[in-house]
Amino acid sequence: MVITTRPGVADQQIDALRERLERCGMRTLAVRRGSRVVVGCLDAPGAAEDSGDWQQDVNIESIMAWTRPYRLASRDASPGGAHDTTPIRIGSARDAVVGGNGIVVIAGPCSVEGLEQLRATAHGVRNAGATALRGGALKPRTSPYAFQGLGAEGLELLSLVRQETGLPVVTEVLDTRQVDLVAEHADVLQVGARNMQNYALLAELGRIGRPVLLKRGFAATITELLFAAEHIMTRGNHDVILCERGVRTFESATRFTLDISAIPVLKRETHLPVIVDPSHAAGDAELVPALAWAAIAAGADGLIVEVHARPEQSRSDREQQLSLPAFSAMMRGATTFAAAAGRRLARGAPAIVEPPLYVSRQAALRRRPVAS
Ligand code: PEP
Ligand code: MN
């Protein structure tokens, strides 16, 4: 059940109400919505809910049943009410917020391959208006013989390039044992499609103070994606960004099939921000801009796009990575589509006029950055 209090009820009375509910065996969550507080009872309905006692409480305005099977991710528990998206801050820059009016573009290589590759790509995407940098250091590869990422060294490089560019870093975590290490370097921890239902990992991410980018599994339903978010949120971390990245279908012309309808469905079901990965869906750089623009038109709050300063040298997902000029062209089109959707692109960090002097990777690693 979902209880909405009357306006202006004091915090002590909310606490007392929650204590009473919890004594009846219900876990509760309180979300402030303007001058009212919404108290959600998380567990399955029980006798206490049916008893009707709660109706007598003078502080309570209304009691409703949950309208959806998930709880914290659902619009029933939305801090902003029935239509708002909950904004999630991913960095210190003013516009580094996913779920506000600005559409956030996260861009960078599939994998971190070395300092020069990462640096050139990061400066390029920053100058083209990206708000955050992506790059995998720990890679979930289908083949165990394929490049598995630079691991801890890749995370160090991401920290270093974040320091140089001011771009917040989004990078993947594969395993519960890596969560603390990745959280030291990342502003946002990505859960890849292959791990969407790794419930031990989701639980571990529920206890960290960093936003999580949760990608939809390529054989997962929208409901399963929302329950995966719920696994993180029930552990205490409410900063979950959902990502549609294509699902597996009979179609073989593209790597996956981008489920555009997932965007309006998710916007109807959840207050969490929704972003789209057109790169893994398409598997082909030429198709990426059209899918990115379609995502904006359908209401996405952001994009995560693979970009490489030299795509032909890429060690993973070579065919789908945009070159820097192609990314700039995609961004120009995105500006127009955002305006047509009544939105704008989030501003990236201001352009750097002087590129930093070349430093060798060893020298760069000696200047180890302090993770923020
Ligand atoms: C990625 O973003 O690098 C990635 C591996 O994506 P996905 O988990 O969607 O396949
Ligand atoms: Mn990739």
Model pLDDT for residues 117-131, shown as the tens digit of each residue: 999 999 999 999 999
**Which residue's alpha carbon is at the smallest distance from atom 6 of ligand 1?**
192
Ligand 1 closest atom vs CA 246? 9
Q: Are 172 and 191 in contact (CB under 8 A)?
A: yes
Instruction: Give residue 59's Cα distance to chain centre.
Output: 36
What is the overall mean pLDDT for the chain?
91
The yes-or-no verdict on residue 370 having pLDDT over 50 is no
Mutate to test the pocket of ligand 1, among 245, 256, 305 (most ligand atoms within 8 A of CB): 245
The yes-or-no verdict on residue 333 having pLDDT over 60 is yes
Of the two residues 81 and 94, the one the predictor is more confident about is: 94
Considering the domain delimited by 88-345, tell me its CATH architecture.
Alpha-Beta Barrel (3.20)
216 Cβ closer than 6 Å to some ligand 1 atom: no
Fold (topology level) of 2-66: Alpha-Beta Plaits (3.30.70)
pLDDT at residue 363, as a whole number: 47
Ligand 1 closest atom vs CA 136? 3
pLDDT at residue 371, as a whole number: 42
pLDDT at residue 91, as a whole number: 87
Rounded average pLDDT over 289-296: 98
Q: Which residues pair with 242 in a beta bridge?
A: 214, 274
Instruction: Tell me the C-alpha to C-alpha distance, in Å, between residue 133 and each of 18, 37, 70, 194, 308.
Output: 41, 36, 31, 21, 11
pLDDT at residue 241, as a whole number: 98
For residue 50, name the pLDDT band (cuts at 50, 70, 90).
low
User: Look-up: residue for tokens 């699902």?
Assistant: 247
The yes-or-no verdict on residue 364 having pLDDT over 50 is no
The yes-or-no verdict on residue 221 having pLDDT over 70 is yes
Mutate to test the pocket of ligand 1, among 215, 316, 317 (most ligand atoms within 8 A of CB): 215
Q: What are the two backbone dihedrals, phi and then psi, of residue 349, each rounded to the nearest 5 degrees?
A: -70, 150
As a whole number of angstroms, the distance between CA 209 and CA 124 comes to 29
71 Cβ closer than 6 Å to some ligand 1 atom: no
Instruction: Give residue 333's Cα distance to chain centre.
Output: 23
Distance 193 CA to ligand 1 centre (A): 6
Rounded average pLDDT over 97-119: 97
Q: 324-340 and 115-127 helices cross at what angle (nearest 10)?
A: 30
215 Cβ closer than 6 Å to some ligand 1 atom: yes
Mutate to test the pocket of ligand 1, among 174, 244, 280 (most ligand atoms within 8 A of CB): 280
pLDDT in tens, 185-213: 999 999 999 999 999 999 999 999 999 99
Distance 277 CA to ligand 1 centre (A): 9
As a whole number of angstroms, the distance between CA 240 and CA 22 comes to 26
Every domain of the chain and the residues it spans: 2-66, 88-345
Distance 313 CA to ligand 2 centre (A): 14
306: left (phi over 0), alpha (psi -120 to 50) or beta: beta
pLDDT at residue 163, as a whole number: 95
The yes-or-no verdict on residue 360 having pLDDT over 50 is no
pLDDT at residue 352, as a whole number: 60
pLDDT at residue 288, as a whole number: 98
Distance 41 CA to ligand 1 centre (A): 34
The yes-or-no verdict on residue 21 having pLDDT over 50 is yes
245 Cβ closer than 6 Å to some ligand 1 atom: yes
Distance 365 CA to ligand 1 centre (A): 27
Ligand 1 closest atom vs CA 317? 3
192 Cβ closer than 6 Å to some ligand 1 atom: yes
User: Look-up: residue for tokens 């959902």?
Assistant: 242
Distance 281 CA to ligand 1 centre (A): 10
Of the two residues 25 and 302, the one the predictor is more confident about is: 302
80 Cβ closer than 6 Å to some ligand 1 atom: no
Distance 269 CA to ligand 2 centre (A): 28
140 Cβ closer than 6 Å to some ligand 1 atom: yes
Distance 40 CA to ligand 1 centre (A): 33
Ligand 1 closest atom vs CA 193? 8
**Which residue's alpha carbon is at the smallest distance from atom 3 of ligand 1?**
110
pLDDT at residue 47, as a whole number: 52
**Which residue's alpha carbon is at the smallest distance from atom 8 of ligand 1?**
192
